[in-house]
Structure 1
Amino acid sequence: ILVILTSASLNLAFQNALQAADALKGQVNVMVVDSQTTSVGLGLLVQSAAEAVAQGQSATDVERMVRSLIPHIYMMVCTPGLSYMYHAGFLDQAQAFVGEMLGLMPIFTIEEGQISAVEKVRNTRNLVDFMQEFVCEFDELQHIAFIQSVPGLTHEAKLMREHAQNCFPQSPFSEHTINLPLATLIGPRSIGLVVIEKLEPAHRH
């Protein structure tokens, strides 16, 4: 059994799964993987694992592939709702209050499972510019995903889609509405981007 879970630093699911796997030791082989990401990043990782299973790969090979892919998944989110991050324990109250009062939209990355602030923008146009520059830093991408806020940002999604298709015409581009776990963490008005760097064949095994 292969279990792939959201980043251990974001909730307790990974630790709980480790305890459950330990309780079953000797009865069934349970492999628990910390995806070090969440939301769409986790979904794309699970999708890659499912495709490998469908191709007939063994559980051990799939686990190895998943672990090799994790460092190549990059996720960034931008949220105007800093009070959500305060309640989730990622910001102190003063930071959240001042940021919201000034109308700032901080951009955070999720790398190695940790949330880190990287930039602040004033509006969604600046955010799209930042995301477009980020995408262009890569040579090859396996997948590009845009996470929509609630309500959705049709114009911004269109700009990102056109830019991604111009830079990486062979790479799939998908759009997703922010899901409940991520919205609870960073707020429903948040916007995100997930990219998976394309692996060389030697790194797939």
Structure 2
Amino acid sequence: MRPPIEEEIEAAEVEVADNHYAAMSLVTTRIAGNAVCRVVNRCNEAQESCNLDLSECQLMQIPDAIYLLMQNTHLTICDLSNNVISKLPPKFPERFTGITELNLSHNQICKLPDQLSEMKSLQKLDISYNSFVELPETINRLSDLCTLIASHNFIINVDFKSFEVCLKQLKEADFTENPLNQPTLNMLEEKLPFRVLYTAPNDEDWRDLDN
């Protein structure tokens, strides 16, 4: 038989653990509740400004609620930066075709839906600080695109000649801090009708990516 004192100690430890988990659950619920309130408040603000700022909202995905909250708003600017979003759902560009500026930076996105090409008015696209290893082909179908920011990804190859053919309005493309391969760098030595920002390779690890 176990001494009574050991049973009392064990019971006390269980009670403390239960209280700890209950407290953590309460904190988590409050954080989630605050995030939801933040999204709703920002959607309400966007109904007046047509500028939806959902940056730093702890989003793992695009909330379905925004399609309802923004259904009567002609959205022109959308900021989804500094979240943990892993993908952009096809219905987002289908619903918000009038956006002119879209900021997806500082997320965990590695590809974009083909439906992005339906955003015919898009002039500025920021996909920096994500997980792209190649540039989505759908970007070539954004005929009004003027500025593309794709810095701080893992992009190796870019066909800038296709930009020249498809993106007639492009003025600047930012590919700094990407491990661009030698054929891509060679292409940059040719005359292009838009400005390209890039980081010249000086790290042997980057060069190894070509092999």
What's the TM-score, normalizing by structure 1?
Answer: 0.26
The structure in which a higher percent of residues are helix is 1
Structure with higher Rg: it is 2
Q: Which has the higher contact order (CA 8 A, sep 6+)?
A: 1
